[in-house]
């Protein structure tokens, strides 16, 4: 029987036998038998130094929101969580990032890299990262661009 860290050849080609490296770095970085490996963690982009606060909008945004026109039948969405992260979908791609409302009411968001499968590709991440103010009336969220930019996006809260 071959050693667990060797490659064997079956009738359908070579196959690695044994455990896979613990991290992507271990795939390209030479390591010795005693070199420790550490798990990688997702990269989180830093928020501005004016850290988000207990602004009333901070609590009001928490929840599941979809484009008000519902062109994607709920497949495109964003969900704001209390810990300052958001997850969502543009219709088929999984999206993530961070968000916050600062003491002056300014909304900020970051977006992590994502795959780009061909689908509706509703620009949820762009809407969030280009928003500087958000307003909520009943179950309607209006995202507004920076001062002087009249761009708005309307989302609806869903349970």
pLDDT tens digits for range 33-63 = 444 444 444 444 444 445 545 689 999 999 9
* Bridge partners, 132 (sequence order): none
What residues make up the domain containing 92?
56-158
Residue 66 inside a domain? The answer is: yes
**How much is the CA Rg of the chain, to the nearest whole Å?**
22
CB atoms within 10 A of CB 42: 6
Residue 95 inside a domain? The answer is: yes
Could you tell me the pLDDT band of residue 118, with boundaries at 50, 70 and 90? confident
Residue 129 inside a domain? The answer is: yes
Q: How large is the average pLDDT for residues 10-35?
A: 43
pLDDT at 53: 55
Of the two residues 132 and 51, the one the predictor is more confident about is 132
Residues 62/81, Cβ–Cβ less than 8 Å = yes
Residue 114: half-sphere exposure toward Cβ, Cα within 13 Å? 22
With a threshold of 0.75, does the pTM exceed it? no
Residue 39 inside a domain? The answer is: no
């Amino acid at each position: 029987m071959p050693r667990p860290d060797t490659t064997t050849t079956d009738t359908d080609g070579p196959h690695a036998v044994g455990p896979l490296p613990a991290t992507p770095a271990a795939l390209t970085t030479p390591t010795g038998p005693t070199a420790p490996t550490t798990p990688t963690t997702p990269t989180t982009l830093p928020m501005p130094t004016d850290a988000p606060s207990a602004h009333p909008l901070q609590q009001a945004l928490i929840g599941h929101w979809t484009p008000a026109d519902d062109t994607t039948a709920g497949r495109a969405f964003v969900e704001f969580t209390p810990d300052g992260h958001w997850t969502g979908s543009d219709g088929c791609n999984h999206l993530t990032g961070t968000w916050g409302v600062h003491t002056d009411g300014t909304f900020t968001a970051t977006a992590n890299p994502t795959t780009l499968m061909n689908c509706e590709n509703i620009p949820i991440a762009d809407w969030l990262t280009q928003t500087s103010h958000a307003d909520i009336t009943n179950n309607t969220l209006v995202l507004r661009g920076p001062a002087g930019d009249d761009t708005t996006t309307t989302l609806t809260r869903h349970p």
